[in-house]
Amino acid sequence: MFILVALQLTACTQFQEMAGDLLSSDVLTSQQIGLGLKEALDLGVSQGVDKLSATDGFLKSSYKILLPDEVQKVTNKLSGIPGFTTVEGKMVELLNRAAEDAAKSAKPIFVSAIKQMTFADATQILMGSNNAATNYLERTTSNELTNAFRPKVVASLDRVNATQYWNDVITKYNSIPFVTKVNPDLDDYVTQQALSGLFGMVEKKELGIRKNVSERKTDLLKKVFAKQDS
């Protein structure tokens, strides 16, 4: 047992020394670049999710989810009917509340996706556009994230009573004589809008790290992103 502990401590010490050597070296390796980009994305995801999942995180931000055109036709038609005069504002609030609630569960999904990034494209991403890392993450994970995130949105729509409210609204609308009956899929719409907002927040954080040295909080971030400054 003593020997095992000693070996573990020795291995840990050697790893720490190796990490220290990597950071102290003037040579920037593809491994460091990859780790730095992952750290930047982790930071962007963490802060982005925390902000958007707070109350009014979506509703009172530039990522506010508005009603799709087909739903606006419904709410406009009902706006003059007693009991439904505020339906548009209520629907906007509920959709954003659902997105805020669903966003709470997004962090582990994003973090898992970030871990899958290989070091192969690291240098190209680092020296690419100001949103190259976010674009890479979006391009390689959107389908998986959509499939994983959609059930969270559906559950959140139910939790904030958006589904029941929308069913009441659409039932009333479809009972109006001569209207073309509709029932837009709000689940997919809110999912796509919520993910768009989350990626937008990650992109904003990436831009901050690329352009603002003070946002590079660790030695690794400072060293990796210094390369793109040169």
**What pLDDT was estimated at residue 26?**
61
The tokens describing 164, both together, are 């029941």
Segment (H or E) for 113: helix 106-115
pLDDT tens-digit readout, 75-129? 998 988 888 889 999 999 999 999 999 998 888 888 888 888 888 888 888 889 9
Which of helix, strand or coil describes residue 84? coil
Domain coordinates in residue numbering, the chain: 39-229
Cα 226 to Cα 52: distance, rounded to the nearest angstrom: 29
Residue 14 CA, distance from chain mean position: 36
pLDDT tens-digit readout, 23-44? 455 678 888 999 999 999 899 8
Question: CA angle, 199 as apex, 100 and 158 as ends, to 5°?
Answer: 25
Cα 15 to Cα 21: distance, rounded to the nearest angstrom: 10
Number of residues that this document lists for the chain: 230
